[in-house]
Homo-oligomer: A and B are copies of this chain.
Amino acid sequence: MREHYREELEDINNCLVEMSNSVGSAMSKATTALLDADVALADLVIAGDEHIDAVRESIEERCFTLLARQQPVATDLRTVTTAMRIVGDLERMGDLAVHVAKLARMRFPESAVPTEVRPIFLEAGHVAQSLVTQVGTVIAKLDVQGAAQLERDDDLMDQLHRQLFTELLSPGWPHGMESAIDITLLGRYYERFADHAVSVARRVVFLVTGERDMVALPN
């Protein structure tokens, strides 16, 4: 029984890593759909969200069953409750990829992203991908150092977000109000995607160290 229990805990952790790969792939596709006005790819992301939601439900139920049947304590209990929160963040990251994809779809056959801010969204897509890869490693290896690096990469996303506003507010922005609204919302989606990645990392750090404050981490 106990051996099965340990395997189940490990398997739940593996599912979280797979789920972070899924949301990373969704955001990556959504970024391409956005930049290339690729409506088929946008549709793939939108349709794929059902699978991500199903994975969340499945992980939640497995955690619940494990709590009910095995009644873990101490670190094992903390591991399960952490997993139950991490799935929430990951699911939301999937939703944000869908928001990006839906905006790409709405403006098709135009691109929602004018030339001036294209490099910013290209880079935001890269940072998002890098964050998600790190999230996978942090979860898989309970990697506290990786979590600290991830916070620094989140700063990159914040910088990109500020650059976006600088572009929008530059005199003579030629693309009108609809485009400005789109870009403001898109910037917010990428920023929140990164925030949730940081949130996952912090939950893992709390699990490992008992510390909520990332400032205490080694650089």
Binding site for B on A (CB under 8 A): 57, 63-64, 67-68, 71, 73-74, 77-78, 81, 84-85, 88, 165, 168-169, 173, 177-178, 180-181, 184-185, 188, 212
Q: Which residues of B contact A180 (CB under 8 A)?
A: 177, 180-181, 184
CB of B81 within 8 A of CB of A67, answer yes
Q: Which residues of B contact A63 (CB under 8 A)?
A: 81
CB of A178 within 8 A of CB of B169, answer yes
CA distance A169 to B178 in the complex (A): 7
Distance (Å) between the CB of A77 and the closest chain B CB? 6
Question: What would be 8 A-B contacts, judged by CB atoms less than 8 Å apart?
Answer: A57-B212, A67-B77, A81-B84, A88-B88, A169-B181, A180-B180, A180-B184, A184-B185
**Chain copies in the assembly?**
2
Q: Is the interface of A mostly helix, strand, loop or mixed?
A: helix
Distance (Å) between the CB of A136 and the closest chain B CB? 22
Distance (Å) between the CB of A146 and the closest chain B CB? 23
CA distance A68 to B85 in the complex (A): 17
Counting chain B CB atoms within 10 Å of each CB, which of A68, A173, A178 scores highest? A68
Nearest residue in B to A182 (C-beta to C-beta)?
A: B184
CB of B68 within 8 A of CB of A73, answer yes
CB of A68 within 8 A of CB of B74, answer yes
User: A84-B84, A165-B181, A168-B177 given. 19 additional CB < 8 A pairs?
Assistant: A57-B212, A64-B81, A67-B81, A68-B73, A68-B77, A71-B71, A81-B84, A85-B88, A88-B88, A168-B181, A169-B177, A169-B178, A173-B177, A180-B180, A181-B184, A184-B184, A184-B185, A185-B188, A188-B188
